[in-house]
Amino acid sequence: MGLGGGSSDAAAALRALNELWETNSTDQELAEIAAGIGSDVSFFLWGGTALAEGRGEIVSPMPQLPPFNLTLVFPDLVISDKTRRMYSRLTPAYYSDGGITRRLVLLLSGGGFFVESIRDCVFNVFQDVAEWEFPMLAEMRRAVRENGGPELYLCGAGPAMFAIPSSESEHRSAADALQPMGAGVYLVPTIG
């Protein structure tokens, strides 16, 4: 789905096995093992807001965000071998110069965070690739936009998407637009 389920499961298993087997591995040792398992696994060893760099194995804590609501969208779409397929489509033309991430880090570090401010700081290298590979995702984004809903963004390598609604009615606009397409749409609060 693109929500880090496999990576978070692997991180939880590392923590659990460290405790169960009483290996007393340090956080640094667990992070090294995590990096060998997968790029995003290190991120999930710790909770909260963080900046992941490198392949995802370099994780730095950031100031915690205040709670806010997200719209999560689960398209009725099964993608076999998704991550490999998505990475195989990437070329350097899709990469950013890192400016969006730097803006977001400054925003979070400066304490001036408000939900509306992060909308301009959302970038996912897979967005265009996923929409080219699976046109249904672009159709869903267009339907939500045309119904007055919030902008949808791809989660990870997809196909799940999220939005940052400004109100419950904006969330409802997204849900109403996507219901005929068979997508699951949920309003969820962020946590720690």
Condensed to tens digits (0 to 9), the pLDDT of residues 37-64 reads 998 899 999 888 899 998 888 999 998 8
Work out the pLDDT band at 72, boundaries 50, 70, 90. very high
Instruction: Quote the pLDDT of residue 187.
Output: 98
Q: Do 105 and 171 share a structural domain?
A: yes
Mean pLDDT of 71-96: 90
Long-range own/partner contacts, residues 20-29 (CB < 8 A, 24 or more apart): none
CATH number, domain with residue 24? 3.30.230.10
Query: How far, in Å, are 5, 38, 56, 61, 130 from residue 43 at the CA level?
Result: 12, 10, 7, 10, 23
Query: Which residues does residue 73 pair with via DSSP β-bridges, in sequence order?
Result: 161, 185
Residue range 148-165, pLDDT digits in tens? 999 999 999 999 999 999
Mean pLDDT over residues 133-143, rounded? 96
Do 86 and 122 belong to one domain?
yes
Number of domains within the chain = 2
Residues 38 and 77 in one domain: no
- Of 140 and 108, more confident: 140
- Are residues 44 and 125 both part of a single domain? no
Same-domain pairing of 40 and 85: no
